[in-house]
Chains A and B, each alone.
Chain A
Amino acid sequence: MSAATIRAHRREADPAAQPWTGPKRPYDLVKEFVVALVVVSILTVVLAALFSSPDDKQLTLAQWAKAAPNDFVATAATELDGTSGSATYGAPYTHDKSAAQKIGPLAPQNWLGVTIPIDSAQDFVLRPLQGAAVAPDLQAALKQWTAASADQQQKWATAYDTALTAVPDTDPAKIAAGDYGPVPVMMTQLLALAQSGGLDGALLAQGRFYQTDYTKPLLFLADGTYLEDLARAQHLGGDQWGMMNETGNYPGQAWLWLYTFWYQVKPFSTSGNADALVWSVMALLSLVFVLVPFIPGVRSIPKLIPIHRLIWRNYYRDVEGRGA
């Protein structure tokens, strides 16, 4: 039996698979397409002219350092002592396997390893400072730092960070006296470098000329709270259904409603593994969505909610209830 014959037999068993032998009506597909193209084009041109599009200005490290210097220094201190979000992230940035989010016993975050290595102290503080070490007090501070043991460096950095966190608005000028070594000078100089715009360039360039990868400046920016404050003011926060939203009064990404929904409810909203759990749920639901034709119950919903009776009402009127 040929494949075509087998297919023909299968179609006989499934009436909906048989070619339509009933009456047809003229239907101009090309005209329909052209009309659709014209209508959509006009609609787009009009909407774009009426409403324009949002473009909230990018936030440079310089602007951050000028608008919120205390937040900047506090963030830099956490990068130096290795307690920032980036420093404690785990894969793909750092080697701490225990930092990974889990789905039950599984930690897929670790499966592909560290592919974007980040050394927060070196990348965000030391290397930029070394590249801009003009001022004599900075040169001396860096010399003191590099001459010290790793243990001593960690002690200074942690002490500074702890003391700074104890200050109500993390204002470095109000920090209690203590043994911080060269750290206070390094922080002041890093702030000055940032405010001058030099840190934007240094973090992006990474010693190269051409660059298209903003990983390091973005990670540093996101480790602070200033970017988040700006975002939350626009309802873009994760617990504000932010994934769906756009700045201002523009429509956003309504199609992300189910992705963001899970983050608003327990157990996801209070879980440290929220991302891994939500994305697993959505991967499963996406699979269900793609495989609807094969899923009993779901594939019967159209029969139970007979909207099709409205869509095909003319056809049903012609075929059904034609009295003798």
Chain B
Amino acid sequence: MPEPPEDTSAAQEETGGWTGWVRRRALRSFPPEQLLPDKQPIYVASWIYVFGVATIAAFIVVLASGGLLALRGPAWWHGSGVGHYVNSLHLWSVEIFMAFMVIHLWGKFFMAAWRGKRALTWITGAVSFLASIGTAFTGYLTQQNLASQWVSTQAKDGLNSVGIGAYFNVLDFGQMLMWHIVLLPLGVGILVVAHVLLVRRHGVVPPFPPKDTHDPDSAVAQGAVQA
């Protein structure tokens, strides 16, 4: 039986159409060992590094508790003990989420983690933070209690004063609820995925150059970034 013709490298570039192109791009940008490495540079050795993943974990608990609230609708928690507890899960996971995110931000700032062409990692992180604030805000608006009544009638002044209120009506419960459970979590989710992929792409930012190196032949010094 004749052998099938071998793919030459030129021919390989052409095969697979759009799917092949996407696959090759993805593998080139994120080889599996880079996407899910089981090793990190020696300097990744501090508890501060857990706050990124801890923030993501909290985000998942926020989404899960929000999903549970969605099962019985926005008015459920006012009249049900179980519903109220689920609401409490949602509130405390949000407090944990925001706290861990800010601690992560403090760490990344003092590490100047944008160095080495990592500006976009910082930018996606910063925008995620701002988007999370907006998401939390629409959450407070849609509680349907006294707090919502006050927050919405106050917030409208800020948003109206810069024109945004003309199309983003914080007094419109239906609109705010859909922003809170659909548009904003989706936005935050996409930003977080982009943020993590960027970290995998560029690697964890190395330390600032050391002050001096008495043993330039050491393996650590070899890898160190020189001033």
> Is there any pair of Cβ atoms, one from A and one from B, under 8 angstroms apart in the complex?
yes
A interface vs B, CB < 8 Å?
10-11, 14-30, 32-33, 36-37, 39-41, 43-45, 47-49, 51-59, 89, 91-92, 100-101, 108-113, 115-116, 212-215, 218-219, 221-222, 227, 230-231, 236, 238, 242-243, 246-247, 251, 253-256, 273, 275-276, 278-280, 283, 286, 289-294, 299, 301-303, 305, 307-308, 311-312, 314-316, 318-324
- Contact yes or no, A18 B225, CB < 8 A: yes
Once A36-B50, A48-B91, A218-B152 are accepted as A-B contacts, the answer to whether A318 and B115 lie under 8 Å apart by CB is no
B219 within 8 A of A: yes
CB distance from B143 to the nearest CB of A (A): 8
Once A25-B42, A256-B133, A292-B109 are accepted as A-B contacts, the answer to whether A14 and B117 lie under 8 Å apart by CB is yes
- Contact yes or no, A53 B41, CB < 8 A: no
CA distance A40 to B53 in the complex (A): 11
Once A15-B226, A214-B171 are accepted as A-B contacts, the answer to whether A276 and B85 lie under 8 Å apart by CB is no
Once A58-B149, A111-B163 are accepted as A-B contacts, the answer to whether A302 and B110 lie under 8 Å apart by CB is yes
Residues of A within 8 A of B197 (CB): none
CA distance A320 to B224 in the complex (A): 11
From DSSP, what is the main secondary structure of chain B's interface residues? Answer: helix
- Contact yes or no, B95 A212, CB < 8 A: no
Interface size class of B (residues with CB under 8 A): 35 or more
Name the residue on B nearest A21 (C-beta): B223
CA distance A45 to B223 in the complex (A): 44
Residues of A within 8 A of B111 (CB): 302, 308, 311
- Contact yes or no, A113 B158, CB < 8 A: no
B145 within 8 A of A: yes
- Contact yes or no, A251 B206, CB < 8 A: no
Checking B146, B174, B215, B220 against A315 with a beta-carbon cut-off of 8 angstroms, the contacting residue is B220
- Contact yes or no, A213 B169, CB < 8 A: yes
- Contact yes or no, B222 A251, CB < 8 A: no
CA distance A92 to B161 in the complex (A): 9
- Contact yes or no, B117 A109, CB < 8 A: no
- Contact yes or no, A22 B222, CB < 8 A: yes
